[in-house]
Amino acid sequence: MKIDKSIHDDYATLTLKGEFDTFYCPKLQEEVESLLASGIPHVILNLRLVKFINSTALGAIIKAYKRCKAEGGQLVISQPSAFARDIITKLGINKLVPMFDDDEEARRKVISTLNDAALAAGSPPGTIEEGRVLITFPDDVRGMQANPNQRRFVSSTLRTIVGTMLNVDAERLQFSWSGAKNGLNADQASQLFIKGSPLTAKFQIKLFKKGYFELDCRVIDCVKIDDEAVKVTLGYVQLSPADSAALQQFAEDMEFLKRQIPGAR
């Protein structure tokens, strides 16, 4: 048996080719452990070219699934061959290890898991790390923002994204976002942020507010940073006097600190 490995940022695809029997179980384990050691706990196991699989090999898949799960990731099966599918379903292994008909479905599942992890970031539900901004797209505009080739993907995986805060004041908010984890380049990512389109931004500035700013916004501008990332500028639909004062004071304080601290940007 041969194992081809393909790395995609935070997840990997392992494509197995040939007969998967007892002799090759350590090989799968080695590949999974290597991925985990490099910080990649999310794995798509493609079985479309597996001509034979025995009980020990099935056990190895379950062990690999549990190892990934223990590291906060997930292992899913994609495109099982007719032989592999028959055995896996008869034994009910698909009830434990998610199985999908094609790589795209498997990829959407993995990306959904990655997004959930990014939103949680080890914090209680509904919270987000300082320096990050949670963007939520209204259901009635997500379909219009994506082109037809991306619409199904966006609808299933991009209800929310997590960007990196760049600047914020009482008039606007800027953040950067890379669509690479979602299989999007910068041109495709920019289609999510059409000028004038509405969205909600949630972020935290602990120096001025114990809770979170959660503001209705509209896209002012979206420009490419590189082949993968975009910089998005948002304007607020409505801002309370208290929030306006806090954000303006924060912006002025940060500008003062940048001028005082050598090398600060």
Distances (CA, A) of 59 to 36, 42, 80, 91, 185: 19, 19, 16, 11, 38
Average pLDDT over residues 183-191: 86
**Residue with the two structure tokens 């906060």:** 72
Average pLDDT over residues 223-249: 90
Average pLDDT over residues 157-174: 84
Average pLDDT over residues 114-137: 60
User: Please, what is the angle between helix 82-91 and helix 55-70, to 10°?
Assistant: 70
Average pLDDT over residues 156-180: 83
Pairing of strands 99-100, 74-78: parallel
Average pLDDT over residues 103-130: 62
CB-count burial class (<10 Å; 0-12, 13-18, 19+) for 196: exposed
pTM, whole model, 2 decimals? 0.51
Percent of the chain with pLDDT over 90: 40
108: nearest Cα among 47, 156, 180: 156
Is pLDDT above 90 for 111? Answer: no
Q: What is the pLDDT of residue 208?
A: 66
Give me the amino acid identity at 5. Answer: K
Longest Cα–Cα distance in the chain: 69
Q: What is the pLDDT of residue 99?
A: 95
Task: Give the number of other CB atoms < 10 A from CB of residue 55.
Answer: 11
Q: Are 63 and 97 in contact (CB under 8 A)?
A: no
Domains of the chain as residue ranges with CATH: 2-120 (3.30.750.24), 132-260 (2.40.10.220)
Average pLDDT over residues 27-34: 94
Q: Calculate the CA 141 to chain-centre distance.
A: 20
* Weakest-pLDDT range from 62-71, 103-112, 128-137: 128-137
pLDDT digits (tens, 9 = 90+) for 128-164: 455 788 898 886 544 444 444 444 444 344 677 888 8
Is pLDDT above 60 for 214? Answer: yes
